[in-house]
Amino acid sequence: MTLSFTCSHQWLPSLPLHILSRLLTLLLFLNFTGNAVADTYKEKLDLQPLSGQFLLASFNFQSHGPIEAFNKQMFQLFPRSLGQILQYTHTRELHLRFALGRWDSELWGAQPGDGQNAGGTGVETWAWVEADNDVEAEARWTSLNNALSGLFCASLNFIDSTRTIRPVMSFNPTGDYPTTNTSSLFLLHGSLPKEPVCTENLTPFLKLLPCKGKSGISTLLDGHKLFDASFQSMSIDVRPICSPHTGACDIEIQQTIDMVLDVSRSLQRRDSPVPRPREQHELICDTSKSYASNEYCYPMDNSFDLPWSLSDLFGRTISGGCPFAINLPVEETSHVCIHAPENRLKTMETHEEVYPTSTEGKPDLQCYMLRENVEFDLAFPKQQPPTTPLRQEPLLYAERSFTGHGQEHGGVKTVLRNPWPNDPIEVVYLESLPWFMKPYLHTFKARVLPAKGLGEEVISELYYRPALDRKRGTQLEAKLIVPPNSVVILTYDFEKAVLRYTEYPPDANRGFDVASAIITIPPQRRRSDGKLIPATSIRTTSLLLSLPTPDFSMPYNVIIFTSTIMALAFGSIFNLLVRRFVAVDEVQRMDLKGKIRGLIGKLKKGKTE
């Protein structure tokens, strides 16, 4: 330990010492593992510039610990608050997603991590719960959601049976279960598309980290910056992992945050917190236009890459590495990586203790190692002409929208586009619809554009679980093949149910959110080049369904109307029975008019007299 310190003090930027110090770190690590540090932790920040002045920042925090200690509730790096919930509810594998904004795959390309870390808008969660039967699984799922709701300050407790589905084809456990009987594992999936993800969800998220946002890359995570991003997604995955050689099992918790920062917006926020229009002299005009003059400005975008640094975008620097992520073997110690071409200028506004680590054959990848208690910042100078960041073509484009009009019926149209010229893609399309949106399955059609021969069926498998009013929602799962370079359009019609008076939310006229469709691409081998495509998932945006909303004073009107009608009926019948009927000329009329006239006459007389 002391050796390492002295070494860092007399640091010289020469290569042999560099290696020596790494060796020392390794030795230190070995020493620590000997000291019963059973849990391991690593964290990594991946920065990737995207086209259109966007920057993708992917934070990844991962910790492993032996599952025996977890089962005994002896927690070290694994957060006890979460671990206890998982044990109490017999949850073997948990996936929790908080997402806000839309991933623009047209502009930004494929999602990071093959979309495995992203969820639909709002909150999405799925888990494998161990139970003896379905009822027990349901009960544990409910208590899991209630507990998570308290832990993450989210309305997860509203995931009830109507929002829970049991996907058949879309999800597979990612953990290892050598001892557990797989028939006793129940997969349950719930989503809350309406949930606004905000700072109160980030704070508990950070508390789960061993360094708690106080050191390491998590110091960059600030609610104001994170939720100002164009797209952000937080995820938590807990799963057991077993070594195939020794059979020893670990529990792994992986927390990720993906955010797409609008660089110009972030920089503007830094300069003036209140957004205001640019000064005229700051505008960059396209003078090549015919109408360009002093008065008209045709703004030119992306004439250069804006200069930025981590402290500009996140409002602070990284305050040194998290100690648990530092004492790792050398090959895993790169904490901050940036995808940028080597020729692009970059400066490190940092102290000398930053190691540019090897780039592992990727010329565009620059990685850095953090040191404990040494601040780290990364700066990008202005770049003119702008660099065009590498855009990874997504496997599939998906979008979903409502069709139709009126308050009674509607339709859903999903467009899946395969951009690859030669490879058909097999996908599983999963819809979880609320019970008040009742699809007609016979209208479920898939159309291929451009039209192929009649022989080829697009949908190969279909799983449908119809809704029960107020008990469960519709689950629709379809396995289909999207032919190369073509578009598959899925359509179906649905009926809108009329809800009960108390079932409407306070903002009934805003509409009801329908959860994102989940498109899963199972791992498959590409036909053209034989490359294996990893499992990928894509979420469409959520939809806003408007239902017929009643006038909410209705119950009182109903009470008054029915009361009046009943009273009328009773009154007339009663009068018929009680009244005496006589001939018209037998009635002793009360001559009201005559009396009044008499009175007026008397008054007038009195006046004249």
Partner 1 sequence: MEDDADSRRRRYRELLHNITMDKDGASQSQSKLDKDDDDSILPAGFVDQGDSTATYNQPPPERPETIRTRLWVLISAWMIAIFLGLPLWHATTTIYRAPLPMQEMQNWSEGKLCKTEFPLLVEVEAPSLPDAENLLKTVQHALDDANDFTAHKPHHLRLRLAAKKAKSEEDSKSDKDENVACLLRLIPDSQNGYNHAVQSSSRIVDIHYPPPSSSSQSSVSAGLSKFVAETLEVLFWQEQELIEHLLLPQTSNPGSLNALSSQSADESRDKKTPPRPRAATADINRRMSRVVKYSSSYHITFSLFTATSLPASWDIESAISQYLTPLLSALSPISNFTISTQVQYYASISSSVTPTYDEELQSWTLKKEDLSSFINSAEWPLASISNDPNLNFILYIPHPSISPLTIPSASHSNSFLLPQWGGVTILNLDQSASHLQHLSNPTLKPALETFATHLLALLGAPPHPASLPIRLDSLVRQRSAEVLVSASSTLGSLQRLVNALPSISIPTTVSDSVQDSILHLSLACEELRKGSFVKALEMGRVAQEEAEKAFFERTMVAQVYFPDEHKLAVYLPLLGPVSVPLVLGVFREVKRVIAERKRVRGGA
Return residues touching partner 1 (CB under 8 A): 1, 32, 35-38, 69, 72-77, 79-81, 84-85, 88, 147, 150, 207, 210-212, 214-215, 322-324, 556, 559-560, 562-564, 566-568, 570-571, 574-575, 577-578, 580, 582-589, 591, 593-594, 597-598, 601, 604
Q: Phi/psi zone of residue 388: left (φ > 0), alpha (ψ -120 to 50 degrees), beta?
A: beta
| Residue found under tokens 């999936």 | 189
Instruction: Give min distance, CB of 81 to partner 1, in A.
Output: 4
Closest alpha carbon to 161 in 136, 186, 141: 141
Instruction: Report in angstroms how near the CB of residue 130 gets to partner 1 at its nearest.
Output: 17
Nearer to partner 1 by Cβ, of 441 and 559: the residue is: 559
Q: What is the DSSP string of 168-203?
A: SSS----S--SSS-GGGEEEEEEEETTPPP-HHHHH
What DSSP letter does each residue of 103-126 carry, written as one string? --HHHH-SPGGGGTT---SEEEEE
* Contact call for residues 141 and 164 (beta carbons, < 8 A): yes
Q: Is the peptide bond before 450 cis (omega within 30 degrees of 0)?
A: yes
Q: Give the shortest CB-486-to-partner 1 separation in angstroms.
A: 50
CB of 500 to partner 1, least distance (A): 18
Q: How far is CA 357 from CA 70, 346, 354, 581, in A?
A: 34, 15, 9, 110
Closer CB to partner 1, residue 222 or residue 364?
222
Six-digit token pair at 578? 């009680």
143 vs 359, beta carbon nearer partner 1: 143
Measured from the CB atom, the residue of 296 and 556 that comes closer to partner 1 is: 556
| Distance from chain centroid for Cα 376 | 30
Is there a contact between 328 and 29 (Cβ–Cβ < 8 Å)?
Answer: yes
Residue number with CB closer to partner 1 (106 or 591): 591
Residue nearer to partner 1 on the CB measure, 278 or 595: 595
Q: Quick check: helix, strand or coil at residue 242?
A: strand
Least distance to partner 1 from the beta carbon of 42, Å? 15
Q: Please count the residues of the chain.
A: 609
- Closer residue to partner 1 (CB): 15 or 36: 36
- Looking at residue 569, the DSSP 8-state letter turns out to be H
CB of 46 to partner 1, least distance (A): 24
C-beta of 105: minimal distance to partner 1 in Å? 37
CB of 474 to partner 1, least distance (A): 32
Q: 512-539 b/e with 16+ CB inside 10 Å = b?
A: bbbbbbbbbbbebeeeeeeeebeebbbb
Which residues, at least 6 apart from 30, have a Cβ–Cβ distance to it below 8 Å? none
Instruction: Tell me the three-class secondary structure of 348-380, residue by residue.
Output: CCCCCCCEEECCCCCCCEEEEECCCCCEECCEE
Least Å from the CB of residue 574 to partner 1: 5
Nearer to partner 1, 18 or 207 (CB): 207
Retrieve residue 408's tokens: 């009674």
Measured CA to CA, the distance from residue 609 to residue 121 in angstroms comes to 91
Residues 6 or more apart whose CB falls under 8 angstroms from that of 174 comprise: 93, 237, 239
CB 151, min distance to partner 1, A: 8
Output the smallest distance, CB 551 to partner 1, in A. Answer: 18
Cβ atoms 267, 308 nearer than 8 A: yes
In the bound state with partner 1, the residue whose beta carbon lies nearer, of 8 and 264, is: 8
Task: Compute CA distances 397 → 254, 290, 419, whole Å.
Answer: 27, 37, 8
The residue (of 532 and 582) whose beta carbon lies closer to partner 1 is 582
Q: How far is the CB of 471 from partner 1 (least distance, A)?
A: 22
Please list the residues that pair with 464 across neighbouring strands. 476
Nearer to partner 1, 199 or 407 (CB): 199
- Contact between 378 and 317 (Cβ < 8 Å): no
By beta-carbon proximity to partner 1, the closer residue of 1 and 12 is 1
**Minimum distance from CB of 84 to partner 1 (Å)?**
5
Residue placing its CB nearer to partner 1 in the complex, 343 or 588: 588
In the complex with partner 1, the residue whose CB is nearer, 214 or 447, is 214
Paired with 585 in beta bridges are none
- Helix/strand/coil for 43: strand
Asked if residues 64 and 37 have their Cβ atoms less than 8 Å apart, the reply is: no
Closest distance to partner 1 from the beta carbon of 327 (Å) = 9
Q: Is residue 500 within 8 Å of 435, Cβ to Cβ?
A: no
